[in-house]
Amino acid sequence: MQAMRLVAAALLCLNASVAAAGTLTATVLDQKGKPVEGAVVLVLEAKGKFKAPKKPAVMDQVGKKFVPHVLPVLVGTKVDFPNQDDIHHHVYSFSKTKRFDLPLYKGKPAEPVVMDSTGVVKLGCNIHDWMHGHIVVLPHPYFAVTGADGKASIEGVPAGKHRVGVWSNRRKEDPAESAQEAAVPKKGAAELRFSLKFGPVHGQEPPKGVGGRY
């Protein structure tokens, strides 16, 4: 999450010269009014060309889990898949957005993977079926991931009216369907509140109670 903010801050710096920019904060709640963590709040349309950062984004594997569970990146961003565990992992994606396969490895693979087209990259580990992660590749840098409090804050959004949506692996709907309009001031913040329907939490816990079928 800290890394996310840093990226956002970096992007903000890049665009600061272009136009006056404000902050967009959003709170995402589920159908029961509870805050939703790990949802991506994003601006649906943004004009302009954006250059991917040189520094790779990181999708760790810690304790046989993908960390973070959801990683939004600007298209063209390189993503490193360091393995923090002392066992091998075999990270792969069969998603159309990016197909890749990092056969069993320990530590950090030599080359990061470049997310060269927009869309969702579903990550899996061939030897740990329950591990799954999501890299959301976006065409612009105006996005943020909600924290445990369901809040996300996008800095440096050009002032003006924007349609803002929410993506979540717990929702099948296109983010456009949750679109809300936000008027971002030149200085200060616009606030949005999303109350959406979410599917059940899909965690990365290994299965329990296996066996005993004989």
Partner 1 sequence: VSFRHKLLASFLGLLCAVLAVSLWAVQRLETRRAERELETGLEMTRAGFEDLLAAHDRELASALKLLSGDFAFKQAVATRDPATVLSAALNHRARMGADLLLVAGDDGALLADTRRPKAGRGKAPAFVKAALEGKAASGIFVLDGAAYQLAAVSVNAPDPIGAVAAGFLIDDKVAASLKRLTRAEVSFLVDGVVAGSTLGTDGRASLAGHAPSLSGAPRRLTLGGARWLAAASTTRAPVTAVVLRSWDEALGPLRAMQSRLLAVGALGLAAAFLVGLFIAKGLTASLETLARAAAAVGEGRYDVDPRIPGTDEIARLGRAFAEMAKGLLEREKIRSILHKSVSKEIAESLVSQGKIELGGEEKEVTVLFSDIRSFTSISESLAPKELVAQLNDYFTGMARAIDAHHGVIDKYIGDAVMALFGAPLSRPDDAANALRAALAMGEALDRLNGERAAKGLPAWHFGVGINTGPVVAGTLGSEQRWSYTVIGDAVNAASRLESATKELGARIVVSARTKQLAGAGFRWKPLGRINVKGKSESLEVFELLGLERGQTPS
Residue ranges that bind partner 1, judged by CB under 8 A = 90, 92-94, 99, 101, 122-126, 129-132, 213
Smallest gap from Cβ 195 to partner 1, in A, equals 25
Nearer to partner 1, 90 or 163 (CB): 90
Q: Residue 162 and residue 180: Cα distance in Å, rounded?
A: 8
Query: Dihedral of CA 185/189/195/199: which sign?
Result: positive
3-state secondary structure string, 28-49?
Answer: EECCCCCECCCCEEEECCCCCC
User: Among all chains, which residue has been given the structure tokens 């329907």?
Assistant: 197
Tell me whether residue 103 or residue 107 sits nearer to partner 1 (CB atom): 103
At closest approach, how far in Å is the CB of 126 from partner 1? 5
Question: Closest distance between partner 1 and the C-beta of residue 86, in Å?
Answer: 22
Q: Residue 11 corresponds to which tokens in the numbers above?
A: 């992007």
CA–CA distance, 202 with 105 (Å, rounded to integer) = 26
Query: β-pairing, 128-138 with 70-74?
Result: parallel
Closest separation between CB of residue 206 and partner 1, Å?
13
